[in-house]
């Protein structure tokens, strides 16, 4: 399965977005991670429908829309996405996850089930035919710049074993939260293949391009 990196767009410098997008394109970034927060499921607000619309127009890099919103079924139609994009919804936010995941796939996108640090991987048992992967939150969702919840590495390994043993070795595992280089090495070792890069590894002091290259090299992702 291909390793992918997904810059967390909420961590971008909004005043230099065009320049940053050009750097992502030049460096063959696989996905753009978009945190949508509703101030209810998570105690923060972030990116929304108009931002997604603008990004879609501005770049051909596929989007990775992470819906941290209550009742995502009410909002899917407000977002532009389709073939090649990824959309994740949280198990904790809807009474009918199967319906929402199917609706995402019906639009040609990959559907991921996101789980917070306290939701066990087994909640995906009856959704195995409806997902293209799991998004394992490695911090409590809501804010950039947090520390990884220590059980995360073990949880990623359990998620990988769970998917493999249920005939879904093809299903992807995305990790989100404090994906620093040392953490990512362990996350990859445990079976993750999509890495959301925020303040822990990408948006720091060094230029973006330097950080992208360093991450790929040190985590062993290749190009
Ligand atoms: C959580 C967000 C954050 C963030 C990732 O909901 O997705 O995890 O953007 O970046 P850092 O590296 O700051 O944890
Ligand atoms: Zn996210």
List 3, 35, 64, 132, catalytic entry: 35
- CA distances to 11, 110, 195, 201 from 182, rounded to whole Å, are 20, 28, 13, 10
49 Cβ neighbours under 8 A, 6+ residues apart: 78, 79, 80
The closest of 108, 161, 17, 174 to 184, measured between CA atoms, is 174
pTM: 0.97
> Closest ligand to 142 CA?
1
Q: Is the beta carbon of 89 within 6 A of some atom in ligand 1?
A: no
Report whether 102 contacts 71 (CB < 8 A).
no
- Known catalytic residue at 129: no
| Closest residue to atom 4 of ligand 1, CA basis | 144
> Closest ligand to 148 CA?
1
Q: Is the beta carbon of 176 within 6 A of some atom in ligand 1?
A: yes
pLDDT (0 to 100) of residue 86: 98
pLDDT (0 to 100) of residue 223: 62
Rounded CA-CA distance 216/186 in Å is: 14
Q: What is the pLDDT along the chain (223 residues), one digit of tens a residue?
A: 899 999 999 999 999 999 999 999 999 999 999 999 999 999 999 999 999 999 999 999 999 999 999 999 999 999 999 999 999 999 999 999 999 999 999 999 999 999 999 999 999 999 999 999 999 999 999 999 999 999 999 999 999 999 999 999 999 999 999 999 999 999 999 999 999 999 999 998 889 999 999 999 999 996 6
- Known catalytic residue at 154: no
Cβ count within 10 A of residue 76: 18
The closest of 222, 161, 212, 150 to 186, measured between CA atoms, is 150
pLDDT (0 to 100) of residue 205: 84
Domains and CATH numbers, the chain: 4-219 (3.20.20.70)
């Amino acid at each position: 399965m291909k390793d992918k990196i997904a810059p967390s767009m909420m961590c971008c410098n909004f005043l230099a977005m065009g320049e940053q997008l050009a750097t992502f394109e030049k460096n063959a970034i696989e996905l753009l991670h978009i945190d949508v927060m509703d101030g209810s499921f998570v105690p923060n607000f972030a990116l929304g429908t108009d931002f997604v619309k603008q990004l879609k127009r501005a770049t051909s890099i596929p989007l990775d829309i992470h819906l941290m919103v209550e009742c995502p079924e009410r909002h899917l139609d407000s977002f532009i996405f389709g073939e090649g994009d990824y959309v994740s919804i949280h198990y904790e936010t809807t009474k009918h996850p199967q319906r929402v995941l199917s609706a995402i796939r019906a639009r040609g996108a990959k559907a991921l089930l996101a789980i917070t640090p306290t939701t066990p991987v087994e909640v995906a048992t009856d959704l195995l035919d409806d997902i293209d992967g799991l998004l394992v939150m490695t911090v409590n969702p809501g804010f950039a710049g947090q520390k990884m919840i220590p059980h995360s590495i073990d949880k990623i390994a359990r998620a990988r074993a769970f998917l493999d043993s249920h005939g879904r070795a093809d299903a992807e595992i995305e990790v989100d939260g404090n994906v620093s280089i040392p953490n990512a090495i362990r996350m990859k070792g445990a079976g993750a293949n999509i890495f959301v890069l925020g303040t822990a590894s990408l948006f720091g002091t060094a230029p973006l391009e330097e950080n992208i290259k360093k991450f790929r090299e040190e985590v062993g992702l290749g190009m």
